[in-house]
Chains A and B, each alone.
Chain A
Amino acid sequence: MTYKLLGKNFTPPDVVAKVTGQAKYAEDFRVDGMVFCRLLGSPMPHARVRRIDASEALKMPGVVGILTADEVTPQPAPNPTILTNEPRYIGEPILAVAAVDETTAQDAIEKIKLDLEPLPFVIDPLKSLHPDFVDARLDGNVGVQGVKLQTLRWTEEDFAKAREEGHLPTGKPAQEWAYGDIEAGFKKSKLVIEESFVTASNSHHSMEPRTAMAYWQNGKCFVHGSTQSQSFVVPGLCGLIGIKPDELVYIAEFCGGGFGSKGSAYVVMAIPALMSKKINKPVMMRISRAEEYAVGCARVGFIGRAKLGFGEDGRLLAADMYIVQEGGAHNGFWDYRNAADALSIVYTPEAMRWRGVPVYANTPTRSAQRGPGENQIACALEPLFDLAARQLKIDPLQIRKLNAPKMNSQVGDDRRTVTSAYVNDALDKGAARFKWAERRARSGQRNGNKVTGIGIGQAYHPAGFNGFDGLVRITPDGRLHIHTGVGNLGTFSHSGTARIAAEALKYDWEQCVVERGDTRKHLPWNIGQFGSNTSFTMARTNYVAAMDALQKMKEIAAKDFGGKPDDYDIDGSRVFLKANRARSMTYAKVAERAIALGGKFSGQELPANINPMTKASATALAGSGLVGVAKDTLPAGGETAAFAVAFIEIELDLETGRFRIVDCLNVGDCGTVIHPMGLETQIKGGTVQGFGLAVLEHIVFDPQNGLPGNVGLYQAKPPTYLDVPDLQADWVDQPDPMSPMGTKGIGEPPLGAAASALVCAISDALGGYIFNRTPIRPDMIISAIAKLPPAHGPLQIHTA
């Protein structure tokens, strides 16, 4: 299908502000009388605050106030707390001090006397499951959203048996599901592989730390925050501050990176608002890079075990996976469940069982990070398919094609059918462009000390939701205003999906205004900008709002010119009678007529099923033009699925263990393309982060003291220009049938595809050596080349 706007590049309206420095992020706002606050983070990994003596601090000139845990909105355990009297990881905020400048606030914090009672702490989740346990929390050791807080122990026998097998113990799980008969599957398998693996936690490294500034004016709380999302933040943030949605003005027009860690309201962003309320002054809270490693969350780590049974042809007949999720001290994300879904759909096993335990540790809260669960598990599982291919003497491309999802494939235990899957098309397209066969022939080829390695990786993520609201408005100047409550994560999809509404109304893009980034722009209720969902979810909301506007345009024309609404059509600037185009009305005129007619035409009467937030926004806009507003009730069902496959060639130096990425091609299965340049940069950016996940990034906590090791960019190592070659991106431009114009998301899978392809390429260069661990660090490669055992134990985490 040919579109007027979709599939074409455009200049997003926020990009010029980004290159000129005019884009205002949370720390760029100033208000008269603004003071600064600093946090006192816990010096202990787990402690109870017995007493706080702030008397000296409060006497210091320039200090204006203190905020303690007793003064903030309590959060039900085991949710993260705003401030706490029982800190559960080093750096967890205990209190905040406000002063005329930051130095004074920090000096005041130095003068506060804290009486802390140390409590037991644990870094390694396996220690918490052991009979000689230490628990991260006083109220339990296991839990996450969907699994209630509980105490769970494995037995000594579980550990003894696992030691004998050289594998992860598989004691009592907190959660499990299965479909099919795995025992029968393993029995009829020609090859059964069983491996235990570790994937490290890593930080998000958003370039903008989670700074926030807040003040109160005329009964409203104004918050400038750093979030990926806009409307979705409002209910959560109101809950944290303790106000009603109409009492919050939330501004997040720009966000300096989130990658999942700023998807919804997060606890520390409430501190300046609460402090400001107490001291009656605007409060800026800058978060330092070091603090960001504590309060900024991290990706979940896995300690897992996978058993895969293959038929002679390479078909995956049975899969059995167990994951111990290394969570933080509070409820975070549920990566271990997503990992199971990913296995079930990327490789479509005929029978599968998954078991898992989400364990708390005295380390920072784990939030979602780009492809949470799906991308770690890609790094663990993809090499096992290479191992199987090697043993069964099958091409690595073929084993993936054989097991790839098809249009009717199903996800997870409840067998949700995917709305579309074109993985085989992506593999074919990628293999052709990458010249797979030619490169494959070079695998293991020596050139002096250098050896060539070739790898393929694949990854999955759900790519859309439904049921949110759309709101558009045509004003008497003829312009189309697309009000969007989605955030600005940097994908430009706020505007890309706005073009769905423009497309539906045949608008010229120059006549369109994207209203976003500030609750005062009157925005609809939308889900946040996370989970690769925007290109699907927001396509639907903007489409239904545009369709509502279109219907109203036709009705107005029919009122004025006679006939039925269906007798009319639009051409991008006029509504006209199909039988006689002379009978027409400009969009501008239609907007004027809508205002004159009132009622539903200009937002005075609203559909009953829209969210109260949308209702309030539409009501505020009522009378200013023709208002199109609707809840997305389009046909829904199944699992919207995005996939990516990546191909990598590396050259590994057998003397130094260093390698160079020669080429990397990443191919997305992402529905109809909305914005080719935006898509390409998403795929390439995911590729870069994938390199980080595969070989560079991890957080390290000292098990003796609970101290964080990697608290600088140079230590935690996000990829730099010098780690990345020129990249290639491509895509399968196939529409998703559940999206009105075929669009679906793609943000997350390219990361996992690139990461796992790199892991596979390194293994390939080493003749099939399987590390079962990410990141693959240089010392691991050197040890593998030297045929020495690795420096770390098989299930050890937080290795240097």
Chain B
Amino acid sequence: MAGFPDEASRYSRREFIKRVIASGAVASAATYIYGGLSACSTKGQSVVAGGVERLVSINVNGQLRRVDVMPQETLAMTLRYKLGLTGTKLGCDRAECGACTVMIDDVTYYSCSVLTHSVRARNVVTIEGVGGPNGELHPVQQAFVDELSPQCGFCTPGQVVSAVALLKRNPKPTRDECRAALAGNLCRCGAYDNYLNGVMRAAQGVSST
């Protein structure tokens, strides 16, 4: 895909709300204000008025996973609370910080702002799925280790996923292209230089193999 599809394809908040409403969920004002409170139950029957869990199949990290989801349930919540994939972090739960970035069909998305029912039959890759099958680090992960890219590490899974997606579509990016591609991933520690160094290092490794 040309350009920077992640910018174009990330949901606007308005679009997200529209989808929630269309799916029949009751989104109270408070829920909206306090940000994405949906579906934190790990098991058992949901008691939310107006919402019923439905069984859906999603492909996560190459595995078909069948999971009961609420209509208003976000992909981040499904991943974290139903599939045990806690590497995807929730930093803001409203499409601002990028800690929850995942790939859907190779395009990066804020999983806090994607409804799980909308990714049926699509390929979701989380931080847990970017490495090799036997735990080998992806070149981006290895480069982030070598460049000491993380500080506190909370935004790191999102940074990794954004970088992996970038290198998939553009294996030899310029530093400014990396900066643009990762611009949706905030790092409060301010380790931007180290992440960019990491992506550039990984790009050299990726292109030489």
Q: Which of B35, B179, B187 contacts A290 (CB 8 A)?
A: B35
Q: Is B12 an interface residue (CB 8 A)?
A: no
A534 to chain B, nearest CB (A): 14
Which chain A residues border B154 with CB–CB below 8 Å?
25, 206-208, 254, 256-257
- Docked pose: A763 CA to B127 CA in angstroms: 44
B118 to chain A, nearest CB (A): 19
Which positions 280-297 of chain A face chain B at CB distance < 8 Å?
A: 284, 286, 288-291
A512 to chain B, nearest CB (A): 18
Q: Is A726 an interface residue (CB 8 A)?
A: yes
Q: Is A437 an interface residue (CB 8 A)?
A: no
Is there an interface contact between A20 and B30, defined as CB atoms closer than 8 Å? no
Known pairs A15-B150, A103-B39, A257-B154; A110 contacts B30 (CB<8 A): yes
Closest to B28 in A: A110
Is there an interface contact between A100 and B41, defined as CB atoms closer than 8 Å? yes
- Docked pose: A194 CA to B84 CA in angstroms: 60
Known pairs A289-B92, A490-B150; A104 contacts B128 (CB<8 A): no
What are the interface flags for A700-733 relative to B under an 8 Å C-beta threshold, 1 for contact and 0 otherwise?
0000000000001110001111101011000000
Is there an interface contact between A20 and B41, defined as CB atoms closer than 8 Å? no
Q: Is A19 an interface residue (CB 8 A)?
A: yes
Is there an interface contact between A106 and B87, defined as CB atoms closer than 8 Å? no
Which chain A residues border B40 with CB–CB below 8 Å?
36, 101-103, 284, 286
Is there an interface contact between B190 and A722, defined as CB atoms closer than 8 Å? no
- Docked pose: A15 CA to B85 CA in angstroms: 19
Is there an interface contact between A291 and B34, defined as CB atoms closer than 8 Å? yes
- Docked pose: A714 CA to B182 CA in angstroms: 16
Say which one of B14-22, B43-51, B103-111 lies at the interface with A: B43-51
Q: Is B86 an interface residue (CB 8 A)?
A: yes
- Docked pose: A286 CA to B76 CA in angstroms: 14
Is there an interface contact between B131 and A724, defined as CB atoms closer than 8 Å? no
Say which one of A163-171, A384-392, A620-628, A683-691 lies at the interface with B: A683-691
Which chain B residues border A255 with CB–CB below 8 Å?
152
Which chain A residues border B47 with CB–CB below 8 Å?
60-62, 100-101, 104
Which chain A residues border B39 with CB–CB below 8 Å?
101-103
Q: Is B191 an interface residue (CB 8 A)?
A: yes
Which chain A residues border B203 with CB–CB below 8 Å?
none
Q: Is A785 an interface residue (CB 8 A)?
A: no
Q: Is A491 an interface residue (CB 8 A)?
A: yes
Closest to B47 in A: A62
B127 to chain A, nearest CB (A): 4
- Docked pose: A645 CA to B194 CA in angstroms: 21
Q: Is B89 an interface residue (CB 8 A)?
A: yes
Q: Is A233 an interface residue (CB 8 A)?
A: no
Q: Is A24 an interface residue (CB 8 A)?
A: yes
B50 to chain A, nearest CB (A): 10
- Docked pose: A207 CA to B190 CA in angstroms: 11
Q: Which of B51, B128, B190 contacts A688 (CB 8 A)?
A: B190
Closest to A256 in B: B154
Q: Which of A28, A101, A209 contacts B46 (CB 8 A)?
A: A101
- Docked pose: A340 CA to B183 CA in angstroms: 38
- Docked pose: A638 CA to B137 CA in angstroms: 47
Closest to B27 in A: A103
Q: Is A564 an interface residue (CB 8 A)?
A: no
Q: Which of A23, A207, A258 contacts B99 (CB 8 A)?
A: A207
Which positions 107-150 of chain B face chain A at CB distance < 8 Å?
A: 126-128, 131, 137, 141, 144-145, 147-150
Known pairs A490-B153, A681-B194, A721-B179; A207 contacts B187 (CB<8 A): yes
Q: Which of B31, B33, B38, B156 contacts A19 (CB 8 A)?
A: B156
Closest to A489 in B: B152
Q: Is A161 an interface residue (CB 8 A)?
A: no
Is there an interface contact between B156 and A106, defined as CB atoms closer than 8 Å? no
Is there an interface contact between A721 and B182, defined as CB atoms closer than 8 Å? yes
Is there an interface contact between A713 and B96, defined as CB atoms closer than 8 Å? yes
Q: Is A580 an interface residue (CB 8 A)?
A: no
- Docked pose: A726 CA to B192 CA in angstroms: 9
A211 to chain B, nearest CB (A): 9
B46 to chain A, nearest CB (A): 6
Closest to A205 in B: B188
Which positions 755-788 of chain A face chain B at CB distance < 8 Å?
A: none
A371 to chain B, nearest CB (A): 14
Known pairs A19-B150, A713-B97; A685 contacts B183 (CB<8 A): no
What are the interface flags for A662-706 relative to B under an 8 Å C-beta threshold, 1 for contact and 0 otherwise?
000000000000000110011011111100000000000000000
Extra A-B contacts (17), CB below 8 Å, given A103-B40, A678-B148: A14-B153, A17-B153, A18-B156, A19-B145, A21-B127, A101-B48, A106-B34, A207-B91, A207-B187, A254-B152, A259-B188, A289-B35, A488-B152, A490-B153, A721-B182, A722-B179, A722-B180
Q: Provide a sorted-by-A list of 10 A–B residue pairs whose CB atoms are within 8 angstroms.
A: A15-B153, A101-B40, A103-B48, A109-B30, A207-B91, A256-B154, A256-B155, A290-B35, A677-B147, A689-B190
The 3 closest A-B pairs by CB, nearest first: A21-B87, A688-B190, A256-B154
